[in-house]
Amino acid sequence: MTRREFSMSDIHLALDGELPDDDRAEFERWLESHPDMKAQSARFERDGAILAAALAPILDEPVPSRLTKLASGEVKPRRSWTISLRNAAAAAVVFVAGGIAGYFIASSGSFNEEDLADRLAENAIGAYVTFTASLPHAVDVGADDRAYLEGWLSKRTGLKIIAPDLAASGFELLGGRILPSGENIAALLVYKDKSGNQLSIYMVGEGGEKAKGTYTPEEGGPTAIYWMNKGFGCAIVGSLPRGQLAEVARNAWRQMVEAGAVG
Amino acid sequence: MDDHRRQAIIEEIPRLRRYARALVRDRDAADDLVQDSLERALSRIESWTTGDSPRRWLFTIMHHLFVDQLRRSRRHVQAVALMPETIDAASSPPPQPDKLASAEVLSALEQIAPERRAALVLVAVEGFSYADAANVLGIPAGTLMSRIARGREELRSILDDVSRRKMIKVVEK
């Protein structure tokens, strides 16, 4: 029998049941003689098992009746797919004419991009000043269950919100809350460090052209470091020295980028 | 349309929901994706060859809709360029993985690039063969294999990060 040389890709083939049966025994022997590869394979197998276990409960969830009724023909489709484009266009017109009219007019009229950035920063600083003044009441939902907090804030704001882990900068997450921002809902995450410094991250589903900057409305008052992009605004506010705040902001931003939570 | 076909589609809904949830974390958004997929499937029921399991057909439809959705949302994610900075992989050796909560695993999954996530979940969770998964995703088998391999690598490093962070928290307490 010719000895076949195995490699990493055979590990994937084996895990996925795609390794030819004839190669199986020899592959197992190869694995035994390559402990690093064996560990790799075991690790992938474990990851696959925990992934499957995390998703498995979904199969047992009751199926929403809107789905079963649709498939059984009890309810008609919401729309016909052949005219969906026209419907989408009509819906867009209604949307613009309705909810965001104020914002739409504002952004094409008297408000320029700089004003939008200032407004974002000012709202964020206002939220910081209001809610960190009394820490016990700063948050609606505590940090004990981060996943729940993130899910709740995401749901309410319509954004993908993650609560960055700022332990490396010495800040501990206390929790979060929602608050109004014009016609939108904004999310506020509140942090504090061991010496009592506070920090907040403010996120809202509005923003003009891409922009970033820092904003300190009052000498010696809190500073906001903000980023804005179409439909997304984020500001990190604190009363730390500028360099330290920028460092924390970079850390938070990096995690948000990694999680795809910036747009 | 005959009841037999409808019944076969209904039986696939739990699996469609699971796959949708792997693609789109939020439960309502995932069910919206399932609903869109069912609507589209029902509107072109004749494209489902009789005798075939509807599974591959339905997953393919869902995948197309997901890709459309992704394309729309990506236009909004250009902000990444704002803070030009490379994301360094942590260099310390990973700690022994603790027991991870489902939510942590699902968050980790969500951080994997969507194309790789789809490939990995189809094969490793939904149990599709490479041939079927490549067919659903509309990609060559070689591309599928490299997505699976990279997806696994990514999942491992993200899970390591999660464990590492948990360790840091434990140490701080």
- Residue A181, strand partner residues: A184
* Residue B51 confidence (pLDDT): 65
The lowest-confidence range among A109-113, A155-159, A212-216, B128-132 is A109-113
Q: Do B137 and B19 meet the contact criterion of CB atoms below 8 Å apart?
A: no
pLDDT of residue A199: 94
Q: Position of tokens 């509107």?
A: B43
> Rg for chain A (alpha carbons), in Å?
26
Question: Taking CB atoms and an 8 Å limit, are A66 and B165 in contact across chains?
Answer: no
Q: What is the 3-state secondary structure (H, E, C) of A124-171?
A: HHHHHHHHHCCHHHCCCEECCCHHHHHHHHHHHHCCCCCCCCCHHHCE
| A17 neighbourhood in chain B, CB within 8 Å | 129
CA distance A195 to chain B (A): 15
The pair of three-digit structure tokens given for residue B129, joined into one six-digit string? 């063969």
Which residue on chain B is closest to A14 by alpha carbon?
A: B124
Contact B35 A78 (CB under 8 A): yes
Question: What tens digit of pLDDT does each residue of A35-72 get?
Answer: 999 999 999 999 999 999 999 999 999 999 999 999 88
**Distance in angstroms (rounded) separating the CA atoms of residues A177 and A197:** 19
Residue pairs between chains A and B whose CB atoms are closer than 8 Å? 159
Of residues A254, A216, A213, the one with CA closest to residue A233:
A213
Tens of pLDDT, residue by residue over B6-57, are 888 999 999 999 999 999 888 888 999 999 999 999 888 877 776 677 899 9
- State both tokens at A216: 């300190």
pLDDT for B121 equals: 96
* Nearest by Cα to A233 from A189, A199, A186: A186
CB contact under 8 A, A48 and B14: no
Q: Give A-chain residues touching B130 at CB under 8 angstroms.
A: 16, 18
pLDDT digits (tens, 9 = 90+) for A79-126: 554 434 444 444 443 333 333 333 333 333 334 455 677 788 888 988
Mean pLDDT of chain A: 81
B113-159 pLDDT tens trace: 888 999 999 999 999 999 999 999 988 888 999 999 999 999 999 99
End-to-end Cα, chain B, rounded Å: 61
Q: What is the pLDDT, as a whole number, of residue A172?
A: 94
Shortest Cα–Cα distance, B109 to chain A (Å): 8
Out of B39, B111, B124, whose CB is closest to A81?
A: B39
